[in-house]
């Protein structure tokens, strides 16, 4: 009996150990988890519209029963739903039995009408067209905005009486009292004249597609006209049919002709159009237009082609006469922002500038005379959120704590009583209510998934957590996750660079590991931030599981560290950036736990360009590299971006050629995988073709892969899964287990 009990007890103890071991065993992340199954998808709070009564906001909520989305009103102070403003099942157009499935919605100023976008079609990065509907809340009537074809950027007038939109290169306005449609312009023509929205290069590089704005009183519309007649045409072929289809569009490459741009104002009552006087210079940019609080005074920002001079003009909307009120110059270039803000007092405006070496906020009177600098210090205002005139508080995002973090601050217009409103270390992004009483804080940090919370703006006090992503956190807890750690290193000239590193969870300091460096490195960018890394972070977990260290370093030329650090690369794009990445690779190679003969590099877009420079100018420091959608010569890229940093090819030929991977194809060392999408309207497939041709001419072996019809993101469907499987396989063959591939 004793022996039997002892045996049973021993069995129970052993079984317990088995259960504990199983409980402690972690799962391995797979590429299917990341790119197909959505296992690590982070939730957020979408479709938030702050309402004119600052106590409420609206958001879309799925109605699972009817397979539609409702628009629900929430109490800000409690975060609880108050009422359903619109039942999705009621959004049934005339002649249909099925509710519309909307992609976006906008309230009129009186919140009695809602503009719905449906059947949206993406054009380029920011442009789209859709069928719009007007919903009258009191009568529950849904009316199609126009039957003449899909519309672009439909927008309520501030008095809620009309909606303006663009279509097929022309501007239109609809009177909502009788749904009468009036065509404002008639000269619009494909690949020639565009009214009411931007051409390709403005959309991509000045970050806007909608090209019209209502005056504050709703009586006028200011709009852009782009004459792209003389802009050279680029042709991409779309594959799949028996005969490939041509896709031709105007794309000004560096040094080539840009669109001629003008700004006009349309008077709704009279139908009269007045052209604004922006000067006689033909080769200029107008990157922003904005109404002041005077309904007859339009603000226009104008830049020279090299983008080192910015002028703010105030134009009389009735006569078109314009005066320069502020002129700023820079020895390198000036970044365009949306920070320009006109105060309700009609006497002053707020403008941001890097003129003291860091981006800060300044107060000017309407004549352009400086009243005072509001913020100052050796840190950046990364975003101007807005100005609460009643409380005299400016809200802005800042790098004051660290270039790696973003925090919300408030300060008075006199530059006094500065207050930090976000406390957690990491990256905060805010959505401020219209009355500046509340904000949503979209927060994340390294190794910390995003959360969304509601706060009072005056003190940053937490009201409610709206999304904690606990499901994602619970999922991550089941996996063996390697931590992302930050570090600093110094270059030979003493410049401190910021970096992060991910080591295998079973890291042994006595072993030597292969390293993969991730790079972007472009002007004003950052890869080293204290924020959730998303899919890339999770892919790096799979590489760490295979015994690899992953590293990223922000080189000179990147952002958040002042104008001098960022603009050092001016006219020599690529030179200092790749020098820093090479130094970082050498620094890593000197660490006792790194195998200096197995260091790789990869990047996308500008990072793809950097990868090619690393393999051609790195003198063998990089054993392998993956270059995705790279620029291979800046002569191939667009005018606005390229000339901002390099001048034109006519003025600075050496700056283009001395840092082009094409010029150094014969110096290629290491294993290259070159990937590009043939449908890339941004960095054209031409870049990859030219690089391959140069490598072939130099008799250099390499691997390449093209994705038919994929755009610059090289995604869509299972494309990402396919691409990252291929990239992982390449790294296993060339860096992780090179002996199996005969690469020792």
493 by Cβ neighbours in 10 Å (0-12 / 13-18 / 19+) ranks as exposed
DSSP assignment letter at 719: H
Residues 6+ apart with CB under 8 A from 529: 404, 405, 406, 427
Cα distances (angstroms) measured from residue 483 to each of 445, 503, 552: 12, 7, 14
Would you say 637 and 665 are in contact if contact means Cβ atoms under 8 Å apart? no
CA 491, CA 565: separation in Å to the nearest integer?
Answer: 13
Query: What is the phi/psi pair of residue 313, to 5°?
Result: -105, 145
The two three-digit tokens of residue 637, written as one number: 């890229």
CB 657 within 8 A of CB 663: yes
Q: Exposed e or buried b for every residue in 597-608, given b needs 16+ CB within 10 A?
A: ebbbbbbbbbbb
* SS3 sequence of 397-441: EECCCCCCCEEEEEECCCCCCCEECCCCCCEEEEEECCCCCEEEE
Handedness of CA 158, 50, 152, 229 (dihedral sign): positive
Supply the angle between the helices 606-617 and 575-589 in degrees, to the nearest 10: 70
* Catalytic residue status for 215: no
Strand partners, 395: 386, 410
Q: What are phi and psi of 266, to 5 degrees?
A: -105, 125
**Catalytic residue of the set 455, 676, 684, 712:** 712
The H or E element spanning position 324 is strand 322-329
Q: Confirm if 597 and 505 have CB atoms less than 8 A apart.
A: no
81 three-class SS: strand
Per annotation, catalytic residue among 215, 680, 681, 684: 680
Please give the torsion angle defined by the CA atoms of residues 423, 427, 432 and 437, in that order, rounded to the nearest 10 degrees.
0
End-to-end alpha carbon distance in the chain? 63
Phi then psi dihedrals of residue 363, to 5 deg: -110, 125
Q: Which two tokens stand for residue 530?
A: 């204290």
Q: Are 505 and 547 in contact (CB under 8 A)?
A: no
Q: Which two tokens stand for residue 91?
A: 């959004």
* Closest alpha carbon to 397 in 424, 421, 433, 364: 421
* Residue of 410, 605, 627, 639 with catalytic role: 605
Residue 712 a catalytic site member: yes
Q: Catalytic annotation on 314?
A: no
Residue 32 DSSP class: H
Report the catalytic residues.
605, 680, 712
């Amino acid at each position: 009996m004793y022996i039997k009990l002892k045996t049973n007890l021993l069995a129970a103890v052993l079984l317990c150990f088995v259960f504990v071991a199983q409980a402690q065993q972690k799962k391995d992340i797979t590429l299917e988890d990341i790119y197909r199954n959505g296992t690590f998808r982070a939730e957020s709070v979408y479709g938030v519209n702050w309402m004119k009564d600052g106590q409420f906001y609206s958001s879309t909520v799925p109605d699972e029963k009817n397979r539609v989305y409702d628009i629900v009103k929430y109490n800000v102070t409690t975060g609880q739903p108050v009422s359903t403003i619109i039942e999705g099942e009621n959004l049934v157009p005339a002649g249909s039995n099925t509710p519309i499935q909307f992609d976006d919605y906008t309230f009129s100023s009186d919140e009695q009408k809602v503009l719905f976008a449906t059947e949206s079609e993406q054009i380029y990065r920011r442009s789209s067209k859709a069928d719009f509907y007007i919903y009258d809340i009191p009568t529950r009537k849904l009316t199609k905005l126009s039957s003449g074809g899909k519309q672009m950027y439909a927008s309520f007038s501030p008095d809620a009486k009309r909606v303006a939109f663009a279509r097929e290169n022309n501007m239109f306005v609809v009177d909502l009292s009788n749904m009468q449609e009036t065509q404002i312009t008639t000269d619009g023509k494909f690949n020639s004249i565009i009214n009411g929205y931007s051409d390709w290069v403005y959309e991509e590089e000045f970050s806007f597609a909608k090209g019209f704005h209502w005056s504050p009183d709703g009586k006028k519309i200011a709009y852009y006209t782009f004459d792209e007649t003389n802009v050279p045409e680029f042709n991409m072929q779309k594959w799949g049919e028996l005969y490939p289809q041509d896709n031709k569009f105007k794309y000004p490459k560096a040094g080539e002709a840009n669109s001629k741009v003008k700004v006009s104002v349309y008077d709704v009552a009279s139908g009269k159009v007045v052209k604004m006087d922006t000067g006689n210079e033909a080769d200029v940019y107008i990157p922003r237009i904005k109404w002041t609080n005077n309904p007859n005074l339009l603000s226009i920002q104008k830049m020279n082609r090299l983008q080192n001079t910015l002028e703010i003009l105030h134009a009389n909307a009735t006569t078109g006469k314009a005066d320069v009120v502020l002129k700023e110059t820079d020895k390198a270039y000036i970044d365009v922002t949306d920070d320009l803000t006109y105060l309700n007092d009609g006497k002053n405006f707020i403008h941001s500038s890097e003129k003291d070496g860091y981006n800060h906020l300044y107060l000017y009177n309407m004549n352009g005379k400086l009243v005072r600098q509001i913020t100052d210090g050796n840190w950046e205002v990364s975003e101007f959120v807005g100005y609460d005139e009643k409380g005299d508080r400016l809200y802005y995002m800042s790098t004051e704590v660290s270039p790696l973090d973003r925090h919300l601050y408030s300060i008075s217009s006199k530059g006094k009583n500065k207050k930090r409103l976000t406390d957690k270390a990491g990256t905060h992004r805010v959505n401020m209510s219209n009355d500046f009483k509340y904000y949503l804080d979209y927060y994340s940090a390294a190794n910390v998934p995003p959360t969304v919370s509601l706060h009072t703006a005056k003190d940053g006090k937490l009201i409610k957590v709206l999304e904690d992503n606990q499901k994602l956190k619970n999922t991550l807890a089941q996996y063996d996750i390697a931590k992302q750690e930050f570090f600093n290193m110094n270059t030979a000239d003493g410049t401190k660079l910021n970096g992060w590193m991910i080591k295998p969870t079973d890291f042994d300091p006595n072993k030597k590991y292969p390293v993969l460096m991730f790079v972007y490195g472009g002007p004003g960018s950052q890869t080293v931030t204290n924020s959730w890394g998303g899919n890339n972070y999770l892919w790096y977990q799979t590489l760490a599981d295979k015994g690899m260290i992953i590293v990223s370093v922000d080189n000179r030329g990147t952002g958040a560290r002042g104008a001098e650090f960022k603009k050092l690369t001016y006219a020599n794009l690529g030179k200092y950036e790749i020098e820093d990445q090479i130094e970082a690779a050498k620094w890593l190679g000197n660490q006792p736990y790194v195998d200096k003969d197995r260091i790789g590099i990869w990047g996308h877009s500008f990072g793809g360009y950097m990868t090619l420079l690393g393999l051609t100018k790195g003198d063998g420091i990089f054993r392998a590299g993956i270059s995705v959608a790279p620029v291979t010569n800046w002569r191939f890229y667009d005018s606005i971006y390229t000339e901002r940093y390099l001048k034109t090819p006519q003025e600075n030929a050496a700056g283009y050629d001395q840092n082009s991977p094409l010029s150094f194809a014969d110096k290629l060392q290491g294993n290259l995988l070159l990937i590009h999408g043939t449908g890339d309207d941004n960095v054209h497939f031409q870049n990859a073709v030219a690089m391959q041709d140069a490598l072939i001419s130099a008799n250099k072996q390499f691997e390449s892969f093209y994705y038919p019809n994929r755009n610059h993101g090289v995604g869509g469907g299972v494309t990402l899964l396919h691409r990252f499987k291929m990239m992982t396989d390449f790294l296993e063959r060339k860096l992780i287990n090179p002996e199996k591939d005969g690469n020792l």
